[in-house]
Amino acid sequence: MATTQDVQKKEEAVTINQRVADFIQKNRRSLFVGLIAIIVALAGFITVVTVRERLLERALTQVDEFGRRYDRVRVDPDGDDPYMVSKMLEISVLLAEIDSFASRNSGFAAARAYNLAANIHWDQNNRDDAEKAWLDAARAAGRNYMAPVSLFNAAVAAEERGDIETAIAHYSRALEYGNIFPSAVRAQFSIGRLEESRNRRDAAIAAYRNVMNNWPNDSLWPNLAQSRILALSD
């Protein structure tokens, strides 16, 4: 047998349902327009994402093609390849195309293109342009993992040029990316090594201590850092 409370609940439910129905009836035109707007916006969003993915895929395919072209003309600048002159000319043309492509694109595709250009310059023993291209790759990559990797490579190029101050700056910037940088401990050790090379003992020890404190579970670099601290403390 239904209680008074049960009857009251049913009446309240009927009242709420009636109110909802009345609201929909009175505002059906606005609700319909709003629904259409949501559907259109969702369709537009899906279209934008799809087009963006296709453009990125096409751009990355172009970078891969640049890489294949370079593999076909790769030369040893210190070798005696009989086709050296013609290949070097092709490489110059290729670098110009890569630079043009990278300047028209952004994000990951541009970062990969700049990275390829940097590797080509490195193979040609052109450290200045390699460093610049890696810095461009880092800028284009944003917060992508390629950014700290590119900065690390730029630091190595700066070292090769003998510019220790700049190399340390590049290593330090790479460390700012935190956990997305797989070679962070190596970069930190390199800072200590470079500080040591210019006889800045305290700065070197501080850098080595950072290795030990921040990567205590690494199997290699903390041990090397500790050995350098002991050597510098004698």
Tell me, what's the pLDDT at 120? 96
Q: How many CB atoms neighbour CB 169 within 10 A?
A: 16
In a domain, 201, yes or no: no
In a domain, 57, yes or no: yes
How would residue 49 be classed by pLDDT, with cut points 50, 70 and 90?
Answer: very low
Total number of domains constituting the chain:
1
In a domain, 138, yes or no: yes
Between 17 and 104, the more confident residue is 104
How far from 123 is each of 36, 61, 116, 128, 199, CA to CA, in Å?
Answer: 57, 23, 11, 12, 31
Q: What pTM did the predictor assign?
A: 0.75
Rg (CA), the chain: 30
Sign of the C-alpha dihedral, residues 167, 173, 177, 179? positive
Q: Which domain holds residue 155?
A: 14-182
Residue 125 belongs to domain with CATH number: 1.25.40.10
58-90 tens-digit pLDDT:
888 999 999 999 998 887 766 676 766 788 899
In a domain, 161, yes or no: yes
Tell me, what's the pLDDT at 115? 97
In a domain, 187, yes or no: no
Residue 51 has pLDDT above 50, yes or no: no
116-139 tens-digit pLDDT:
999 999 999 999 999 999 999 999
